[in-house]
Chain A
Amino acid sequence: MAEPQTSILRFENVTVRYDEVAAIEDVSFESFEGESRVILGAAGSGKTVLLKTAMGLIKPDSGKVFAFGKNLAAMRERDLFEIRSKIGMLFQEGALFDSMNIEENVAYPLLNQPSIKCPPDQVLPRVEEALKFVELGQTLEKFPSELSGGMRRRAAIARAVVTAPPLILYDSPTAGLDPITAHTIIALLIKERDISHTTTLVVTQRYQDGNLIANFSYNSERGELEPARHGARREFLTVFMVLREGRLVFEGDQDTLESSKDDYISKFVKPRV
């Protein structure tokens, strides 16, 4: 008998409205430990709102959001801090603090998350480790404005993973980046997922990002990605979701996604690598 899966994130009929217009409407899904979820959708389809709702940054107008078994919609802002310490988030443009250098940015969650008691002498080593992970070990003293777009995104990933959260949300990690840098970012994301066994939600408009996430794994011995579709990562499922005008119009695996005859859904699907 298969072991029961641990629920990490659950949406129950969640609706978020802005000025009577639904940003997401009646969205329900459940994400389990170790799972990767790729959320596709056109601009304005509600992908970012969905991630922010999962983080408790936006309160739903109706429905319930459970993260680690707790209903975020019913919690006060101060009580949400503990849940948020278990969730890492990469914002669309990185959202690094302009007034702080990279070291201070990456150290921020270690020093400010109330439930993370990081000893002061451990802060710098952990920051260095996180920056080494994203291959930005030499940028501690630099300010975000001194870095390129891709480097800023990598520094933001370092900030998201420095506390080793079990759930990480990535909001359009490759948006606006050239193909090589975009590949590097997705490779980092897969590396983090496979080394730390984190549950991962990735919002993207690029099908190839989802394709890499679903079919590649990180080989820590060789330090590179390798195809894993029929190999090591099959025990962890990658689920695809497609949002259209706030509604969840598809949820399933890659094969089902690719065989969909829906006009909107098939626009996101490209030939597999």
Chain B
Amino acid sequence: MRGPTFLLNFLKEPVLAVQEFFVLTGNALRNIFRKPHYSDDIVLQMDSIGVGSLQIVFMTGFFSGAVMALQMSRALAQYGQVGKTGSLVSLTLVRELGPVLTAIMVAGRNASGMASELGSMKVTEQIDAMRALGTDPVQKLVTPRLIATSVMLPLLVVIADFVGLFGGWVISSLFLDLTSRQYWTSAWQTLEWNDVLQGLLKPLMFAVVISMIGCFYGLRTTGGTQGVGRSTTQAVVTSTVLIFILDLLITKIFVFQSS
């Protein structure tokens, strides 16, 4: 009997955590349609998450596009198809690299920010004070972050895709002797609606994961400043892992549909 009891005790905490996560997510989603709406907080978060992440998204997008162009051209050269570089860069960026790399950057910057901010509020009793003063912390703190991330991440991904394509064009023009027309036509024509849909659906799902994981770990912080540090690390690690898992699932669904 000791074995099953030990197993149950071992599983109790993670199962409870998953349950709490889904309850929090459910409440945050439901609050989108419930009053009061904290529009000021949403705008503030949009600025912090969206505008604040522009620089890293530009950098990541540009260099990933440039590297993709270099790597792909090398592989394509073996088949005499260097002219298709734009096509491969745009497909890889729009379907995979744009959404995933941007989401990871935003997770590193914002999931950690959310976890540390809410964690600090938790350990200094500001969350309790909020409840005591007539505010639902999920409505005031979590829902605005969820909405802001869900709006801004797809936009950031679109920007990252374009900047990445630009990076690929720079490399193609400078080192691959491709004309601009060749590169952009190949990049544009290869894209289908399915790719664009995939490239926009992914960041939307990643946004939910990033914001909810950041807020979840923040709100369950205990143990003072050390606890805040722990929550921050857990938020980044968990959201990054979940981004990859979710990416695989969504890709599988789209591949299955296409076939």
Q: Which chain A residues have a beta carbon within 8 Å of chain B's beta carbons?
A: 52, 55, 57, 77-78, 81, 84-85, 87, 89, 91-93, 95-98, 108-109, 112-116, 159
State whether the Cβ of B136 lies closer than 8 Å to any Cβ in chain A.
Answer: yes
Contact at B136–A77, with CB atoms within 8 Å?
A: yes
Distance between Cα atoms of A81 and B134 in the complex (Å): 5
Distance between Cα atoms of A55 and B130 in the complex (Å): 12
Q: How large is the interface on B (under 10, 10 to 19, 20 to 34, 35 or more residues)?
A: 10 to 19
Q: What are 19 A-B interface contacts by the 8 Å CB criterion?
A: A57-B131, A77-B131, A77-B136, A84-B131, A84-B132, A84-B134, A91-B128, A93-B124, A95-B128, A96-B129, A97-B121, A98-B121, A98-B126, A112-B133, A112-B134, A112-B135, A113-B134, A116-B134, A159-B133
Q: Which of B125, B134, B136 is the one whose CB lies under 8 Å from A95?
A: B125
Distance between Cα atoms of A95 and B135 in the complex (Å): 14
Q: Which residues of B contact A96 (CB under 8 A)?
A: 126, 129
Q: Which residues of A contact B124 (CB under 8 A)?
A: 93, 95, 98
Distance in Å from the Cβ of A2 to the closest Cβ of chain B? 34
Q: Which residues of A contact B131 (CB under 8 A)?
A: 57, 77, 84
Q: Which residues of B contact A85 (CB under 8 A)?
A: 134
Q: Which residues of B contact A92 (CB under 8 A)?
A: 125
Distance between Cα atoms of A115 and B125 in the complex (Å): 23
Distance between Cα atoms of A123 and B161 in the complex (Å): 48
Distance between Cα atoms of A133 and B124 in the complex (Å): 25
Distance between Cα atoms of A97 and B120 in the complex (Å): 11
Distance between Cα atoms of A116 and B135 in the complex (Å): 12
Contact at A78–B128, with CB atoms within 8 Å?
A: no
Distance between Cα atoms of A55 and B133 in the complex (Å): 10
Distance in Å from the Cβ of A173 to the closest Cβ of chain B? 14
With most chain B CB atoms within 10 A of its CB, the pick from A55, A91, A116 is: A91
With most chain A CB atoms within 10 A of its CB, the pick from B128, B130, B135 is: B128
Distance in Å from the Cβ of A137 to the closest Cβ of chain B? 22
Distance in Å from the Cβ of B89 to the closest Cβ of chain A? 42
Q: Which residues of A contact B135 (CB under 8 A)?
A: 112
Q: Which residues of A contact B133 (CB under 8 A)?
A: 84, 108-109, 112-113, 159
Distance in Å from the Cβ of B5 to the closest Cβ of chain A? 15
Distance in Å from the Cβ of A200 to the closest Cβ of chain B? 16
Q: Which residues of A contact B136 (CB under 8 A)?
A: 77-78
**Nearest 4 A-B pairs (CB), nearest first?**
A113-B134, A95-B129, A95-B125, A91-B125
Q: Which residues of A contact B134 (CB under 8 A)?
A: 81, 84-85, 109, 112-116
Distance between Cα atoms of A2 and B134 in the complex (Å): 37
Give the residue name and chain of the A residue nearest to B140 (CB).
A112
Contact at A97–B125, with CB atoms within 8 Å?
A: no
Distance in Å from the Cβ of A84 to the closest Cβ of chain B? 6
Q: Which residues of A contact B121 (CB under 8 A)?
A: 97-98
Distance between Cα atoms of A87 and B121 in the complex (Å): 21
Please, what's the 1-or-0 string for B8-35, where 1 marks a CB less than 8 Å from any CB in chain A?
Answer: 0000000000000000000000000000
Q: Which of B125, B130, B132 is the one whose CB lies under 8 Å from A93?
A: B125
Distance between Cα atoms of A77 and B134 in the complex (Å): 10
Known contacts A84-B134, A95-B125, then 14 further A-B pairs from the complex at CB < 8 Å, ordered by chain A residue:
A55-B132, A57-B131, A77-B131, A81-B134, A87-B132, A91-B125, A91-B128, A93-B125, A97-B130, A108-B133, A112-B135, A113-B134, A114-B134, A116-B134
Q: Which residues of B contact A81 (CB under 8 A)?
A: 134
Q: Which residues of B contact A113 (CB under 8 A)?
A: 133-134
Q: Which residues of B contact A57 (CB under 8 A)?
A: 128, 131-132
Distance in Å from the Cβ of B125 to the closest Cβ of chain A? 4
Q: Which residues of A contact B125 (CB under 8 A)?
A: 91-93, 95
Distance between Cα atoms of A93 and B126 in the complex (Å): 10
